[in-house]
Amino acid sequence: MVDETLPTGVCAVLITNNDRSMVTDLLAANAYKVDHLKTPKIWSLVEKATCFYVGGYFLTVSPPSAMLIAEHALAKGKPFTLNLSAPFIPEFFKEPLMALIPFTDVLFGNETEAQSFGKSLGYETSDLKAIAKKVSELPKSNSKPRIVVFTQGSQETIVATGGQITCFPIIPLAKEKIVDTTGAGDAFTGGFLSQYLLNEPIDKCVAAGNYVACQVIQRDGPSYPNEPHSFKF
């Protein structure tokens, strides 16, 4: 959507050793309107899509757009996936987040986002496995079990579904090889969903997510090698 009154949003990223800070000026990115989504040209893309992924940041901009997508996904039996994206989303945008949770087939988040979500729900625990299990059991709009995936940086990846908790090891990487963690979370979800949409088992989905994230953090920015690497899941 083009907003003639606003420039394109920008984000400054500062890397200090292995730590990252981000400062944004959302500008036009904060002005998206659901009416644009409803136009025939754009909605035809929605109808052609086979899966939907919504970042939590979008809930600060146009919750009605996210809900329209979620309702379409439910009606057409398409997977709807959601990322918590930042700790402040469950804290300050809980209402639109919780409105989408019943539609969510796969929910992603890192450890700090998961802690914030658990706190916003009043869970009297900081244990990520317990939080993942509780979130996986929240009411759902269809009969398909919700998958909750919590990453923890250098620690194991937690997956909860059907009331069961499974933990998966990450790919070990020497600290000196870490260049920039920008985009690591989205890289993980991309790798995970690439296998999820092929109906592969959860362990393969997590392995793919960890592999792609491991590649990204060894490069500047959310970038990828020009040549594909062979990797056996």
Residue 159 structural domain: 50-216
Tell me the pLDDT tens digit for each residue of 47-84.
999 999 999 999 999 999 999 999 999 999 999 999 99
Is the residue at 195 inside a domain?
yes
Q: Is the confidence at residue 182, as pLDDT, over 90?
A: no
Is the residue at 34 inside a domain?
no
Tell me the pLDDT tens digit for each residue of 190-228.
999 999 999 999 999 999 999 999 999 999 888 888 887
Residue tagged active-site, from 127, 186, 203, 220 = 186
Is the residue at 186 inside a domain?
yes
Angstrom CA distances, 36 to 60, 88, 150, 195, stand at 17, 27, 33, 31
| CATH code of 172's domain | 3.40.1190.20
User: Is residue 127 flagged as an active site residue?
Assistant: no
Q: Which residues pair with 176 in a beta bridge?
A: none
Is the residue at 60 inside a domain?
yes
Total-model pTM: 0.94
Is the residue at 59 inside a domain?
yes
Is the residue at 43 inside a domain?
no
Residue 73's identity, in one-letter code, is A
Please state the domain count of the chain: 1
Tell me the pLDDT tens digit for each residue of 18-46.
788 889 999 999 999 999 999 999 999 99
